[in-house]
Amino acid sequence: MKAPKLSQLAETLIGSEIVKLGAEIKERIRQGARVYNFTVGDFDPAIFPIPVELEQHIEQAYRDKHTNYPMAEGNLELRQALKSFIQHYQGLQYDISEILVASGGRPLIYTVFRTLCDPGDKIVYAVPSWNNNHYTHFVGAEHIVLEAKAENNFMPTAAELKPHLAGATLLALCSPQNPTGTTFSASELEAICDLVLEENARRGPDEKKLYVMYDQMYWHLTYGTIKHHDPVSLRPAMKEFTIFVDAISKVFSATGLRVGWGLGPAPVIAKMKSILTHMGAWAPMAEQKGLTHYLHDFNAIDRYLGHFKSEIEHRLTRIYEGLLQLKQEALPIDAIAPEAAIYLTVKVDLKGWKKADGTTLADQAAVTHFLLNDASLALVPFYAFGSDRESPWYRLSVGTCKKEEIDEMLGKLRSALQQLTRP
């Protein structure tokens, strides 16, 4: 049957590389293969359950029959609870009219792009990064793409951004970063904010301003001495030009509960609300009711985060140290020290190496298949996040990692790498 003619967007939209890889892995597992699956940017609830108090509050909300439509902008009592939560944990002060609730971060990000950007507008973002390329395509905007560098932990710098901000409508930033698990330093983010403020000061009163979308979905999950920094705390004048995107998805291991929020200037938030109203992308009523109660319990939140963060950090650190040990054994592998989120950035530079059967790993796709087939290791290549297809870097996620599997995985990887011959 001949495919029907559809919209230009539908005809040109690129499918998710992560979903494609995930389907291949699931099929291998279904066929009985042993796979160490570190691709999923999600949590195994058996390993990382949601807070018990949050669960109890949501269950009670369902028992109390809270199953009708919520307010389009989020229930008033939830936005009041979010106001207190944000001020307590991040020191940011936002009015109720500057807070918008939706069914997770994705509809909020989409709505930011829809609210601010017209076809042909310039949207600036760095790669690797999560989905900025797709959202830019959705609105028909011009992609202004920077390839972030390993020496900067794959975070864009002010010097790299400076030539591209003139005339741009949106600068999409994320910290902690998905896929890298790295963060902005205060000094670098301050320099970026100063560029945005200078650019907006140059624009006339009738010109569009340059806005920053600041995705801070993982900001509670920082480790060691790493501190989270945001534009508004560093440069209060940025409040006029910054839209935050946040959610319970990562901080409370609650990816399936679908409650997110945006923070921003009231006029922008009001227009985002109008778009979300037509989309119907509201957070479920019972989850909103349950979360409202939970967010007031700072002691419970602190207890949960203390345990949750230590478990994630333990996994990230053990794998990182294990990969460095392989590197010290002269095996072709490297990693960047974990700073935040649930991700580790791993380098597997095997292009041109030969397998024991004489097969050459001719390109990075062949390397990815070697890791899966010979090491039973599934990672997400950075090209799935917009980087060059020959980038040797990968995202490793510990959201479904069992601690007892770490040494097994490292041993299997060592054995597979030892079978290779240098080019």
290-309 in b/e form (b: 16+ CB < 10 A) is bbbbbbeeeeebeebbeebb
323 with 331: CB under 8 angstroms?
A: no
CA 84 from chain centre, in angstroms, equals 24
**Which residues have CB under 8 Å from 39's CB, separation 6+?**
18, 21, 22, 25, 378, 379, 380, 395, 397
pLDDT of residue 25: 83
Q: For residue range 252-295, what is the model confidence (pLDDT) as tens digits?
A: 999 999 999 999 999 999 999 999 999 999 999 999 999 999 99
HEC sequence for 80-149: HHHHHHHHHHHCCCCCHHHEEEECCHHHHHHHHHHHHCCCCCEEEEEECCCCHHHHHHHCCCEEEEEECC
CATH 3.90.1150.10 segments of the chain: 8-48+303-418
Question: What is d(CA 208, CA 179) in angstroms, rounded to the nearest whole number?
Answer: 30
- Residue 293's nearest CA partner among 64, 105, 15, 71 is 64
**What is residue 299's three-state secondary structure?**
helix
CATH class of domain segment(s) 52-297: alpha beta
CA 134 from chain centre, in angstroms, equals 14
36 with 376: CB under 8 angstroms?
A: yes
pLDDT of residue 393: 97
Helices (H), 145-243: 158-161, 186-202, 231-234
Question: What is d(CA 22, CA 26) in angstroms, rounded to the nearest whole number?
Answer: 6
Question: What is d(CA 89, CA 106) in angstroms, rounded to the nearest whole number?
Answer: 23
For the entire predicted model, the pTM comes to 0.95
Cross-strand bridge partners of residue 245: 215, 262
Counting other chains too, the contacts that 404-408 makes at CB distance below 8 Å and 24 or more residues apart are: 405/36, 406/315, 406/318, 406/319, 406/322, 407/322, 408/36
Question: What is d(CA 294, CA 56) in angstroms, rounded to the nearest whole number?
Answer: 9
pLDDT of residue 13: 81
Token readout for 14 is 């690129």
- Low pLDDT (below 70) residues in the chain: none
pLDDT of residue 423: 82
- Fold of the CATH domain 8-48+303-418: Aspartate Aminotransferase, domain 1 (3.90.1150)
200 with 246: CB under 8 angstroms?
A: no
CATH 3.40.640.10 segments of the chain: 52-297
Strand residues in 235-280 grouped as ranges (E): 242-247, 260-263
Question: What is d(CA 301, CA 284) in angstroms, rounded to the nearest whole number?
Answer: 21
